[in-house]
Amino acid sequence: MPRQVDYEDRRRRIAEAVCLLADEHGPEGVSMRDVAARAQVSVGAVQRCFRSKEEMLLFAVDHVGDRITERVRARLAANPAHALGHAVDEIALLREEHRAEARIWLAFIAQAAVKEPLAGPLRNSYAALQDLLARLVAESAGNGSADPRAEARALLALADGLTTHVLIGHLTAQEAEEVLNTHMAGLRERLRN
């Protein structure tokens, strides 16, 4: 009797391998052969899951976005009183344990600037994060006069910018956290008024 293959599990393992290789060599340095070796599957198994390298990279972009979104949801469930701050903190990827994920995310963004097929999933991820932040701003606003969509766009841009500044060494993670905390304190004040 043939062995049953869990294709979703295999696709996730392949996505993890893509992420590790993209962190080491950038997305352009990822090959199906190297992914197969890293995921400990055959090249044929990779090709059965993904018709092309581009399709494999798109899945990996979604995979990273899903991991970030899942962590945001987990933190929101654990402490809803500070939901907005926790969400922005997770999105910024400032902690050391998320440094590889930040490098991968920014490598995909750099590729998306010149390869439209990668840009679509990234736009979708940003749109979902912006909607979440807008909802959290609206919930925090009470009677405040802040525009939730505008505040969400600013928070998303700040989080991405801080990630970049930490990765290139312009700011330490602690300095970036201080910038983020200062901005969040100002936002909380605006939301109360």
pLDDT (tens digit, 9 = 90+) per residue, 6-48? Answer: 888 899 999 999 999 988 998 888 999 999 999 999 999 999 9
Task: Please report whether residue 12 resides in a domain.
Answer: no
Whether 35 is covered by a domain: the verdict is no
Q: Is residue 138 part of a domain?
A: yes
pLDDT at 8: 87
pLDDT tens for each residue of 109-139: 998 899 888 898 889 889 988 999 999 898 8
Q: To 5 degrees, how large is the angle CA 33–CA 38–CA 15?
A: 90
pLDDT computed for residue 34 by the predictor? 96
Alpha-carbon distance of 134 to 164, in angstroms, equals 23
Structural domain span for residue 119: 59-192
Q: Token digits for 16? A: 């993890």
Phi, psi of 95 (to 5 degrees): -75, 150
Based on the number of CB atoms within 10 Å of its own CB, is 135 exposed (0-12), middle (13-18) or buried (19 or more)? middle
Structure tokens that stand for 186 in this block: 């100002």
Residue 50, domain member (yes or no): no
Mean predicted confidence (pLDDT) in 86-92: 89
Within-domain flag for 2: no
Cα separation, 52 vs 43, whole angstroms: 12
Residue 78 predicted with pLDDT over 90: no
pLDDT above 70: residue 1:
no
Q: How much is the pLDDT for 143?
A: 63
Q: How many structural domains does the chain have?
A: 1
- For residue 180, pLDDT over 60 is answered with yes
pLDDT digits (tens, 9 = 90+) for 138-178: 888 766 667 899 999 999 999 999 999 999 999 999 999 99
Residue 41 lies in a domain: no
Within a domain: 32: no
Answer yes or no: is pLDDT of 183 > 90: yes
Question: Which CATH number does the domain housing residue 137 bear?
Answer: 1.10.357.10
